[in-house]
Amino acid sequence: SYELTQPPSVSVSPGQTASITCSGDKLGDKYVCWYQQKPGQSPVLVIHQDSQRPSGIPARFSGSNSGNTATLTISGTQAMDEADYYCQAWDSGTVVFGGGTKLTVL
């Protein structure tokens, strides 16, 4: 079955750029989206179709996808961005989530 791999944790200082990766076989051939989940809350879509931001998502969130790796980039990271982030893709009619990355802003 298809798998998406994320680093368990990423740390970033306030105001700096955070990059969270998601790896999978020929992932660049698929559309990837990203969700942000804060404790006790439902996931929120922050990037879809590799690099598209939904309405209401700050411009500091951006995404890319090429080869075997998709990347979520948060520029000028703020304390409010501290959360778990999950990548997601489709494979053969099924949905696959990455294991999630805990972003710590310190």
* C-alpha gyration radius of the chain: 13
Buried b (16+ CB within 10 A) or exposed e, 69-94: ebbbbbeebeeebbbbbbbbbebeee
CB of 48 or CB of 60, closer to another protein: 48
Contact 20, 83 (CB under 8 A): no
Which range of residues in 9-17, 18-26, 65-73, 98-106 is near another protein by CB under 8 A? Answer: 98-106
CB of 10 or CB of 13, closer to another protein: 10
**Number of chain positions touching another protein (CB under 8 A):** 24
Residues in contact with another protein by the rule CB under 8 A:
1, 31, 33, 35, 37, 42-45, 48-49, 54, 84, 86, 88, 90, 93-100
